[in-house]
């Protein structure tokens, strides 16, 4: 079974930033959105990606290229990095 939270469909977003400050409840919100996004109409989907991303952007203050940024791709990258980082937490 495919976990749609881990399936990347948005254009990739490269950024520099530390995801270690993201809490488990914040990552749960990211995962929930990514799992359900294909069931959400486009406009509400983009709004929800923005709504979830803004507090994370404020928290980690990433450096990124605005020309290549999209909220959904940012959330996909946050989850991927968080999963790698959480493997090494003590």
- pTM assigned to the model: 0.88
Q: Which residue has the tokens 């995962």?
A: 31
pLDDT tens, position by position, for the chain (90 residues)? 567 777 788 888 999 999 999 999 999 999 999 999 999 999 999 999 999 999 999 999 999 999 999 999 999 999 999 988 876 554
Q: Which two tokens stand for residue 5?
A: 């939270």
DSSP 29-60: HHHHHHHHGGGS-HHHHHHHHHHHHHHHHHHH
Spatial CB neighbours of 17, under 8 Å, sequence gap ≥ 6: 60, 61, 62, 63
Closest CA to 46 of 56, 26, 54: 54
Q: Name residue 63's beta-bridge partners.
A: 16
Q: Name residue 56's beta-bridge partners.
A: none
């Amino acid at each position: 079974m495919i976990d749609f939270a881990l399936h990347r469909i948005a254009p990739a977003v490269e950024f520099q930033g530390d995801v270690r400050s993201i809490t488990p409840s914040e990552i749960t919100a990211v995962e929930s959105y990514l799992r359900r996004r294909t069931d959400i109409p486009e406009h509400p989907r983009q709004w929800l990606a923005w709504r979830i991303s803004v507090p994370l952007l404020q928290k980690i203050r990433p450096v990124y290229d605005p020309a290549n940024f999209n909220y959904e791709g940012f959330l996909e990258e946050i989850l991927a990095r968080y999963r790698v980082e959480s493997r090494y937490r003590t």
